[in-house]
Structure 1
């Protein structure tokens, strides 16, 4: 085995510092959330316990933690479903050139470079002008779609650019209708990528702050609630909340990855069964 060069160790050290920079704040909050009952917001820690996690599940003097969590979770599911559906429809529509497709593409991508707070302000103003209620499930929902849909569409563009059209042609040769081709051929093939789009849609919505700031109305989502708690709560219960929400995010990612693995194993087993049948 050849000895590693000095550049390898230098790059490894740089990568380690980069990972520490990314996850250092999360690790710090996680450690501080395990302080004792008399613990503060900074180091050194005053004891070690689960006190602040238990305190989190009790009634808080300030804020509505679990109500905001339910709103963020519900909003994330709504955004996820719409993002997946419209991303697939948009990806299939852009498989063929049509008049205005280039302009429409750049208009979609433009929402990613517009400052998020301006999008939130614009959506809120539109709802006020139309005399509609500014609410997390309406205006907040629309504002977050301007963030998640472009990502979903970009993923679908990449997927369909590499999609082998011979599968669709074979289905049509066997008498499948356009809908049957999409349902039984296209969707099963791109299913793992759809899980990725769904994960993007949910996670981007779940922790979105700026685009929800002026469109949530009277009820906060979880990111807004946490921001409000930073000015009112002066105990490590805020760190306990941050630790639990981080673990919840990792749990969601793990569930989606498990679904992808199961889908790929199912497709592989079907392919092997089909090969045995031909033999």
Structure 2
């Protein structure tokens, strides 16, 4: 009796006919999406005689040195600090409000549907319209404040009064109209899939509501919370349209960068773009690191109680 071959039958690994056209389309899409970023990164390392286009004229860190010395009358580093501070505040508020809203909407609320649609409506409205509306609202508040100070006879305060618009008032509100809907949609999706049996088990074991949230709920939704925070910071970091009419008498880095494109005609503008891109990647790296730590802690806890 002939022995059968122990070698497994060969699988047919031939790719379908449509694989390569779709792969080529995806590669072209990635090149279109990230090609400008790579171009700016390369051109920022030109020599002192470099221009804004190819071909390259040497390699150096000359334009980064010039950037460190300043770009004319524009204080880029002050704008950078303002953007970082605003992004951090927006990130914190987006996380806190999104988590609280997700917890609240786990139960049926009177008027909850209308509140949800009003919140998400800001994603549909054009950004410049939102910015103009917030700017107009604060101008009306300024008129009311001036009238109030005049009626109280506070002429000294009235002379020094400028506007209520600012980084942490009107600009903060404008950015939250952009970041909060994303945070809410993420948390609603998370809580719709969340099994309340974990919290019920914690309550049966004597945990208080705060302990149940801190030691049971929060670790389970931790990766989603990190994602909401990342959304909040990155969306605020590069926002222009919603900030333009609501920032007041200071500028964030994207607004300064937009203004510099009309006055600075050297690769120093590319050096600034490279630094801001690297900063964004660093924030993303920190978020991924936080997710990795959360997974390790969850796995360690599972091994301890397994």
SS in structure 2 at match of 1:130? helix
Q: 2:225 and 2:133 mapped to 1: Cα distance?
A: 30
Q: 1:92 and 1:67 mapped to 2: Cα distance?
A: 38
Q: CA deviation at 1:239?
A: 0.4
Which among 187, 198, 221 is matched to residue 218 of structure 2?
187
The answer for unaligned runs of 5 or more in structure 2 is 1-11, 143-162
- Please, which moves more after superposition, 263-272 or 55-64? 55-64
The ranges of structure 1 where at least 4 consecutive aligned residues each deviate by more than 6 angstroms after the TM superposition are none
Which protein has the larger Cα radius of gyration, Structure 1 or Structure 2? 2
Which among 241, 253, 265 is matched to residue 272 of structure 2?
241
Q: 1:111 and 1:59 mapped to 2: Cα distance?
A: 37
2:50/2:267 contact within 8 Å kept = yes
Q: CA deviation at 1:21?
A: 0.6
Q: 1:60 and 1:240 mapped to 2: Cα distance?
A: 11
Which among 104, 126, 134 is matched to residue 123 of structure 1?
134
1:39/1:45 contact within 8 Å kept = yes
Query: Which digits, 9 at most, give the CA deviation of each residue in 1:41-74, with x for residues without a partner?
Result: 1112222211111111013213111000000000
Query: Which digits, 9 at most, give the CA deviation of each residue in 1:103-133, with x for residues without a partner?
Result: 1111111011111111111111111111142
**Which position in structure 2 is the counterpart of 1:68?**
79
Q: CA deviation at 1:3?
A: 2.3
Q: 1:136 and 1:51 mapped to 2: Cα distance?
A: 33
Q: 1:9 and 1:189 mapped to 2: Cα distance?
A: 40
Which among 178, 183, 191 is matched to residue 160 of structure 1?
191
Q: What does 1:104-119 align with in structure 2 at a 5 Å threshold?
A: 104-119=115-130
User: Number of residues paired by the alignment?
Assistant: 275
2:166/2:248 contact within 8 Å kept = yes
TM score, norm. by length of structure 1: 0.96
TM score, norm. by length of structure 2: 0.88
- Please, which moves more after superposition, 45-54 or 150-159? 45-54
SS in structure 2 at match of 1:57? helix
Which among 50, 53, 68 is matched to residue 42 of structure 1?
53
**Which position in structure 1 is the counterpart of 2:262?**
231
Q: 1:258 and 1:172 mapped to 2: Cα distance?
A: 31
**Which position in structure 2 is the counterpart of 1:93?**
104
